[in-house]
Amino acid sequence: MTDDALVAAMRRHEERLARDPSSLAFAQLADLYRKAGRTRDAIALCRQGLARYPQYTTARLILAKAWLAEGRLDEAGAEIRAILEQSPKDVQCLRLAAEVERRQGNVDGAADHLERVVKLDPGDRESRALLGFLRADPQAAGEGAGLARVLRDDTFATLTFGTACLEQGCLDEAAGVFTRLLRKDPHNARAREGLEQTLRARSRRKG
């Protein structure tokens, strides 16, 4: 959606909501705000609407996305858990749950959610690839190349070595190092950022 189209759509939904403040259109407007970068407006609108319609899971999902955009992982996670209590097979919500867990450093929790996603949607190649990335374990590799043998040694499971792998474009190896570090300490902020950088590099490589 172009910027002009986004502005026009927001205006239409604002007018609709002004005419009927009880309308469920608040969720669509909140999502447009989120896409326009107005995440705080999106959060405020969702919270107001959910006070009237607490079972409206679409609005709760939009709220979770807005919290996530603000970096408020705990709040996003709380909304996602509320949705999954009602709809445990909501694939979109499970993907978002995986992202929250991953960004919190809980790589196994993220992988667990992705496993549920690929079972429910076997055609989701992106989630399947990401699951393989998070489950990668250099210690489980075969004899392989020299780098694979090096990575089986815990001595090299360090931020410095993971960063070096990332800088050299060895993304699977970098992910293996960062996920091992996070399994030991999910609160390791530098390892969390290293994993996120690795995933961004993977996305750019895919084009």
What distance in Å separates the CA atoms of residue 158 and residue 109, rounded to the nearest whole number?
22
pLDDT for residue 149: 54
CA neighbor of 128 nearest in space, from 118, 137, 119, 120: 118
Burial of 65 (0-12, 13-18, 19+ CB in 10 A): buried
pLDDT for residue 25: 92
pLDDT for residue 167: 93
What distance in Å separates the CA atoms of residue 106 and residue 151, rounded to the nearest whole number?
21
CB 157 within 8 Å of CB 139: no
What distance in Å separates the CA atoms of residue 166 and residue 28, rounded to the nearest whole number?
39
What distance in Å separates the CA atoms of residue 165 and residue 148, rounded to the nearest whole number?
12
Just give the CATH number of 138-206.
1.25.40
pLDDT in tens, 45-97: 999 999 999 999 999 999 999 999 999 999 999 999 999 999 999 999 999 99
pLDDT in tens, 119-177: 999 999 999 989 988 886 544 444 444 555 555 666 678 999 999 999 999 888 899 89
Q: Please list the alpha-helical segments (H only) found in the chain.
A: 3-19, 25-35, 39-52, 57-69, 73-86, 91-103, 107-120, 125-135, 146-151, 159-167, 171-184, 189-206
pLDDT at 3 over 70: yes
pLDDT for residue 200: 92
What distance in Å separates the CA atoms of residue 48 and residue 4, rounded to the nearest whole number?
27
pLDDT for residue 154: 67
pLDDT for residue 144: 43
CB 81 within 8 Å of CB 109: no
Torsion on CA atoms 149, 153, 154, 156, rounded to nearest 10: -70
pLDDT for residue 142: 41
Q: What is the mean pLDDT of residues 98-126?
A: 95
Cα dist from 128 to 44, 131, 159, whole Å? 34, 5, 26
What are the structural domain ranges in the chain?
Answer: 1-85, 89-135, 138-206
pLDDT at 190 over 90: yes
Q: What architecture is domain 1-85?
A: Alpha Horseshoe (1.25)
Q: Which pTM was predicted?
A: 0.84
